[in-house]
C-alpha cells in the first residue's frame, strides 16, 4: 500500500517536473516590441537687439548677422537609426519695425550642407511686438540628411537698418523628436 | 552523466526566475533544513552532502508581471500589452533571482550530543525594483508628461555574488527545546548596489519670462552606485580573465563579512511545535577594490543661447555646445569615490507552528529515524511565515503545509503559499532515502508547471546527501 502511494507520488512529481513547459506564448513577438517615445527638447534661443544691426563706430548698417553652434547629438548613429520624424518649432517675437529673413543651415562636420530651413519674420513695433511662428517638419528621406548634421548656422537678415532702430528680435525654439527603438 | 548534469542545469536554469524555501523549512528529514533553522530537530547521526550536488537552489520571481502577460499568443498588439502592464505595475514591484550551490555540507553528532554542521556554499542574489517613472519616460517620452515630476529615486537595485563558509551547533537543551546557531563568513566576489536615490526630472512649459519654450529641470538629484570587486575587472581582457579573477576571490580573496543564523524548536505539547529562525544577521565590509559613483545637483536646461558675437574673418565661433556640456558636468557632477562601505545582508526570518498526529515508528523496536529521543509524528499540518528585508521593505509570505512520513524511506511535504507574486502557489517536496543516500527535490508553483510562462515566480531546490542514522 505504502509502496503504491510512494510510487504514485514520485510519478506525479516526475510528471509535473518533466512536463513543465511554456505554452500559448509567442516569443517571436519580441521583434515587434517598439519603444516609441516622443521627446520634447529645447533647441536654441536668442535675443537680438536692434543696435546689433548697426555698426555705430563706422556708421554702417549690418544687414546680416550670423552665429553657429554645434548640435552633436543629431550626428549620432543611435539617433540616426531611431529618429522617425522631427518637428522644429520656432517662435519669434519681434518688436523691431523691420521684417526679417531667418535661415537655418545644417552642416556636417566637414561643413557640407545637409539640410536647410528658413522663414520670414513679420515686422513688429517697439510697443507692440509681433509673434511669428514657424514649424519645420522633417521626415522620410530628409531625416537622413538632417541626422548627418553636426552644427547649425543661424543667419538673420534685415532689409535695412539705421542707428535709431529700436526693439528686439527674440527667438524661442524646441524640437519634438518622434523616436522608435 | 555529464549530459544528465547539463540537462538538469539547463532545466533549472530555465526555471531560474527569491529566497523563500518554504518547502525545505521544517522538513527535518533533509539535512539542509538545518540551513534554514539551525535549531531544528536533527534526526540523523551524521550527514555528508555529495560535493557540488548537496543543494542546488534556484529562485526567481517578478511580482508584477509574468512572461505570459507580455508574450501571450493573441491578436492584440504586444506593445499594447506592455503599455498596459507598465501602468498597472507599481514602483515597489520587483524582479529577483537567487541561486545557491552547495560545495560542501557535512554534520555529525558529538559525544556531548551537540550536532555540529558546516560547509561552503556559493550564492548569487539579485533584485531590481521596477523604476516605473523612468520606464514611462523611456517608453512614452516627455511630451505627454509636461509638469510631471519623474522620480529618479525609484532606481533601486542590488546584486551580490559571494562564497559563504559556515559552521553551526545544534543541541536539544531540554525535553521541549532545541536551539542552534550558525556562524557565517562571507567572502564577497562581486557586489553592487544603488539604493536611497533621490531627485526628480520635470519638463515644464515656460512662461513669458522664460528663456525658452521649455524648462527641463533636474531637481535635487542624488543618484549613486556602489560597487566592490568591479573596478579591477574593467581592465581585464575577455570573459575567461574575468571569470578567473572572480573565482580567485572565492577563498577570502575579496571583501569579508560576518553573520549569524539563530533558531529554535519548541515543543509546546505532544502535538504542537513552534519553530523560528533568523538567517544572515550580519554585514559585509567592503574596503578592497571599492568604487562608487555619485551624481548629484540641480540643473535647469533651456537650450543653447546664441549671442551673435561680432566676429572677424577667421575667428572661430563660440563653443556653445561644449560650454553647455561643461555646465551640466559642473552643476551635476559625477564623482568617483573610493570610500569603504558596509553592506548589511538581507536578513531572513522564518517561523512555523505545526500540529503533529500519528506516531511514526517505522522499524518496530528501534526507531532509527529518531535517535534524538523525541517523538516523530506521522503527519504534520501547520503554518509558516517568511520575511526577507529588502531595500524597499520586507517581502513576506505565508504558507500552509502538510508533511507526511510515508515510509521509512520516503516523506513528502505539500505547501500552499501566499506571497507578493501570487495567491495560488502550491509546492511539493519529497525526500527519499535509498540506503544511506538521500535525495530530495522541492519545487513550488506546481500549478504553473503546466505553463511556466504564467508563473510569476519559481523556486527549486534539489540535492543529494549521505545520511547515517546509526552511531
At B379-412, the pLDDT tens digits run 999 999 999 888 777 888 999 999 998 888 889 9
Is A52 an 8 Å CB contact of chain B?
A: yes
Record: contact B213-A89, CB cut-off 8 A: yes
Is A67 an 8 Å CB contact of chain B?
A: yes
Record: contact A68-B317, CB cut-off 8 A: yes
Low-confidence ranges of chain B (pLDDT < 70): 1-19, 361-375, 449-453, 470-471
pLDDT band for position A6 (50/70/90)? low
Q: How close, in Å, is residue A142 to chain B by CA atoms?
A: 23
Record: contact B143-A40, CB cut-off 8 A: yes
The residues, any chain, with a CB within 8 Å of residue B257's CB and separated by 6 or more, are B162, B185, B186, B187, B188, B282, B283, B284, B285, B343, B345
Task: Indicate the residue of A16, A33, A44 with minimum beta-carbon distance to B446.
Answer: A16
Phi, psi of B110 (to 5 degrees): -85, 175
- The per-residue pLDDT for A32 is 78
In the block, which residue shows the cell 553573520? Answer: B259
Task: Indicate the residue of A21, A23, A46 with minimum beta-carbon distance to B306.
Answer: A46
Percent pLDDT > 70 in chain B is: 91
pTM assigned to the model: 0.79
What residues of chain A lie within 8 A of the CB of B211, using their CB?
A: 45, 172
- The per-residue pLDDT for B38 is 95
Nearest CA in chain A to B321: A70
The more confidently predicted of residues A73 and B278 is B278
Q: How many residues does chain A have?
A: 181
Q: Indicate the helix (H) or strand (E) that contains B323.
A: helix B320-331
In the block, which residue shows the cell 529700436? Answer: A166
Task: Indicate the residue of A20, A70, A174 with minimum beta-carbon distance to B320.
Answer: A70
- The per-residue pLDDT for B350 is 95
The residues, any chain, with a CB within 8 Å of residue B150's CB and separated by 6 or more, are B133, B134, B136, B137, B142, B200, B201, B202
- The per-residue pLDDT for B461 is 85
Record: contact A45-B304, CB cut-off 8 A: yes
Distance from C-alpha of B115 to C-alpha of B109, rounded to nearest angstrom:
4
Q: How close, in Å, is residue B89 to chain A by CA atoms?
A: 18
pLDDT tens digits along A54-63: 988 888 899 9
The more confidently predicted of residues A4 and A102 is A102
How many whole angstroms from its chain centre is CA A126? 31
pLDDT band for position A88 (50/70/90)? very high
Residues 108-127 of A with CB under 8 A from B: none
- The per-residue pLDDT for A131 is 95
Task: Indicate the residue of A22, A46, A72 with minimum beta-carbon distance to B308.
Answer: A46
Distance from C-alpha of B72 to C-alpha of A26, rounded to nearest angstrom:
6
Nearest CA in chain A to B207: A172
Record: contact B79-A19, CB cut-off 8 A: no
Torsion of CA B163, B164, B165, B169, to 10 degrees: -170
How many Cβ atoms sit within 10 Å of the Cβ of residue B324? 17
pLDDT band for position A49 (50/70/90)? very high
8 A C-beta contact, residue B215 and residue B69: no
- The per-residue pLDDT for A167 is 92
Tell me which of B303, B378, B462 to substitute to probe the interface with A (most A C-beta atoms closer than 10 Å): B303
Amino acid at each position: 500500500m505504502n509502496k503504491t502511494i510512494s510510487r504514485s507520488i514520485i510519478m506525479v512529481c516526475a510528471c509535473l517536473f518533466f512536463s513543465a513547459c511554456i505554452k500559448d506564448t509567442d516569443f517571436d513577438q519580441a521583434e515587434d516590441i517598439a519603444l516609441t517615445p516622443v521627446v520634447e527638447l529645447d533647441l536654441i534661443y536668442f535675443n537680438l537687439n536692434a543696435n546689433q544691426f548697426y555698426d555705430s563706430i563706422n556708421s554702417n548698417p549690418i544687414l546680416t548677422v550670423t552665429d553657429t553652434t554645434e548640435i552633436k547629438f543629431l550626428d549620432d548613429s543611435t539617433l540616426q537609426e531611431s529618429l522617425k520624424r522631427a518637428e522644429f518649432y520656432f517662435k519669434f517675437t519681434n518688436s523691431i519695425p523691420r521684417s526679417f529673413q531667418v535661415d537655418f543651415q545644417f552642416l556636417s562636420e566637414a561643413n557640407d550642407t545637409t539640410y536647410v530651413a528658413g522663414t520670414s519674420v513679420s515686422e513688429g513695433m517697439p510697443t507692440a511686438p509681433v509673434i511669428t511662428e514657424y514649424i519645420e517638419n522633417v521626415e522620410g528621406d530628409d531625416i537622413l540628411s538632417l541626422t548627418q548634421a553636426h552644427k547649425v548656422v543661424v543667419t538673420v537678415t534685415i532689409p535695412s537698418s539705421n542707428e535709431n532702430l529700436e526693439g528686439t528680435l527674440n527667438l524661442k525654439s524646441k524640437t519634438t523628436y518622434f523616436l522608435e527603438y | 552523466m555529464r549530459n544528465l548534469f547539463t540537462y538538469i542545469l539547463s532545466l533549472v536554469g530555465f526555471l531560474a526566475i527569491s529566497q523563500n524555501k518554504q518547502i525545505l523549512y521544517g522538513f527535518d528529514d533533509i539535512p539542509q533544513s538545518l540551513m534554514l533553522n539551525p535549531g531544528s530537530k536533527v534526526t540523523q547521526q551524521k550527514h555528508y552532502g555529495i560535493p557540488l550536488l548537496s543543494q542546488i537552489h534556484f529562485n526567481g520571481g517578478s511580482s508584477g508581471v509574468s512572461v505570459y502577460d507580455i508574450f501571450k499568443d493573441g491578436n492584440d498588439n504586444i506593445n499594447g500589452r506592455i503599455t498596459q502592464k507598465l501602468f498597472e505595475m507599481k514602483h515597489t514591484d520587483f524582479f529577483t533571482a537567487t541561486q545557491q550551490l552547495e560545495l560542501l555540507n557535512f554534520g555529525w553528532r558529538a559525544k556531548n550530543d551537540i550536532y555540529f554542521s558546516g560547509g561552503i556554499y556559493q550564492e548569487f542574489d539579485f533584485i531590481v525594483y521596477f523604476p516605473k517613472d523612468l520606464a514611462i519616460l523611456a517608453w512614452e517620452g516627455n511630451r505627454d508628461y509636461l509638469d510631471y515630476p519623474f522620480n529618479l529615486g525609484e532606481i533601486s537595485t542590488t546584486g551580490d555574488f559571494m562564497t559563504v563558509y559556515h559552521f553551526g551547533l545544534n543541541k536539544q537543551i531540554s525535553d521541549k527545546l532545541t536551539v542552534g546557531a550558525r556562524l557565517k563568513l562571507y567572502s564577497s566576489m562581486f557586489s553592487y548596489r544603488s539604493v536611497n536615490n533621490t531627485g526628480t526630472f520635470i519638463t515644464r512649459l515656460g512662461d513669458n519670462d522664460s528663456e525658452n519654450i521649455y524648462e527641463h529641470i533636474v531637481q535635487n538629484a542624488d543618484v549613486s552606485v556602489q560597487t566592490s570587486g568591479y573596478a579591477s575587472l574593467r581592465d581585464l581582457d575577455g570573459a575567461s580573465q574575468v571569470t578567473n579573477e572572480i573565482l580567485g576571490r572565492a577563498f577570502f580573496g575579496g571583501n569579508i563579512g560576518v553573520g549569524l543564523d539563530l533558531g529554535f524548536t519548541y515543543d509546546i505539547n505532544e502535538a504542537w511545535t513552534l519553530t523560528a529562525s533568523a538567517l544572515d544577521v550580519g554585514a559585509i565590509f567592503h574596503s578592497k577594490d571599492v568604487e562608487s559613483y555619485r551624481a548629484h545637483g540641480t540643473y535647469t536646461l533651456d537650450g543653447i543661447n546664441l549671442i551673435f558675437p561680432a566676429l572677424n574673418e577667421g575667428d572661430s565661433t563660440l563653443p556653445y555646445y561644449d560650454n553647455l556640456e561643461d555646465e551640466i558636468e559642473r552643476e551635476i557632477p559625477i564623482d568617483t569615490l573610493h570610500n569603504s562601505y558596509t553592506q548589511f545582508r538581507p536578513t531572513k526570518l522564518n517561523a512555523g507552528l505545526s500540529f503533529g498526529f500519528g506516531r511514526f515508528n517505522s522499524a518496530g523496536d528501534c526507531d532509527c529515524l529518531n535517535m534524538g529521543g523525541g517523538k516523530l509524528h506521522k503527519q504534520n499540518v501547520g503554518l509558516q511565515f517568511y520575511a526577507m528585508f529588502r531595500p524597499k521593505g520586507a517581502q513576506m509570505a505565508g504558507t500552509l503545509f502538510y508533511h507526511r512520513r510515508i515510509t521509512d524511506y520516503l516523506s513528502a511535504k505539500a505547501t500552499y503559499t501566499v506571497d507578493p507574486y501570487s495567491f495560488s502557489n502550491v509546492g511539493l517536496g519529497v525526500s527519499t532515502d535509498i540506503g544511506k543516500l538521500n535525495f530530495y527535490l522541492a519545487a513550488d508553483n506546481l500549478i504553473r508547471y503546466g505553463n511556466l510562462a504564467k508563473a510569476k515566480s519559481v523556486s527549486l531546490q534539489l540535492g543529494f546527501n549521505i545520511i547515517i542514522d546509526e552511531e
